[in-house]
Amino acid sequence: MKPIQPMEPMPPSMMARLKDNKIIQAWLVLILAICFGSSLAGIQLTLGPRIEENKINETREKVPELILGAARAQQLAETEKALEIQPTSVAVTKNGRQTAYSVLEARDPEKGRLGWVVKAGGQGYADKIELLLGLDPSAEEISGIFVLEQKETPGLGNKITEEDWRGQFIGKDTDRPLEVVKDRVDEENEISAITGATISSRAVATIVNTAVADLKGKLAAQ
């Protein structure tokens, strides 16, 4: 008697093979991905310019205050005269590496150049600190600073954003680097540290010093 042979498996039909195909199974994922992707592209196209504008405005709004000081900026806002703001970029080569500072030039329509606003950043105590530094036309004097972004300790390091503290920088000479001191300020180039936040205070002074050292010559020459 012949042994019973196991039956050959039937070849899967075309339909069944298609059903097993991983790509076919994922048809819903693919269709959703296309739909969602195109709707996101649409959103980005509509909102993208607005978001960019928000970012630029945040910097521009601060320019009059940083160049002219709070009081005169207020006066200017009331007369509805606006400063002309010209964005430029200044390339600096340091230790063989090229970095670029984004610099805004503020001009008065009649009186010409009023000063510079430099965007500078560096390491703080918790995270990167990003600030705006206002300089007079010849970059001889600091006309103000403003902290754009910081994540310093609330209650201590985040006092760097307060006007009382950052007001110290106004009118400082850029000839000598600024120094942070813990007690009384004696010298012209000294900044008094925030109690309990010496590192944050030093970080801000260092950012300012670096930006001044990098840009002073180039801005004065322009």
Partner 1 sequence: MSDQPTAAERFIQGILPENPVYRQLLGLCPTLAVTNGMQAAITMSGAVLFVLFCANVIVSLIRNLLKPHLRIVIFTLTIATFVTIADRFLAAYVYQMSKVLGPYIPLIIVNCLIICRCEVCSSKQNVVAAGADAIGQSIGFALALSSIAAVREILGTGHFFGIRVLPEVWPDWVVMVLPPGAFLTFGLLLGLLNWYGTFRAEKAERG
The residues binding partner 1 (CB under 8 A) are: 25-26, 28-29, 32-33, 36, 39-40, 43-44, 47-48, 50-51, 54-55, 58, 149, 153-156
For the chain, helix, strand, coil in percent to 5 are 45, 25, 30
Query: Coil, strand, or helix at residue 35?
Result: helix
Nearer to partner 1, 32 or 77 (CB): 32
Nearer to partner 1, 19 or 81 (CB): 19
Report the nearest approach of partner 1 to the CB of residue 29 (Å).
6
Nearer to partner 1, 43 or 77 (CB): 43
Alpha helices in 149-197 (DSSP H): 163-166
**Residue 191: what are its φ and ψ, rounded to 5°?**
-120, 135
Report the nearest approach of partner 1 to the CB of residue 30 (Å).
10
CA distances from 20 to 10, 12, 26, 32 (A): 16, 10, 11, 20
Report the nearest approach of partner 1 to the CB of residue 34 (Å).
11
Report the nearest approach of partner 1 to the CB of residue 160 (Å).
15
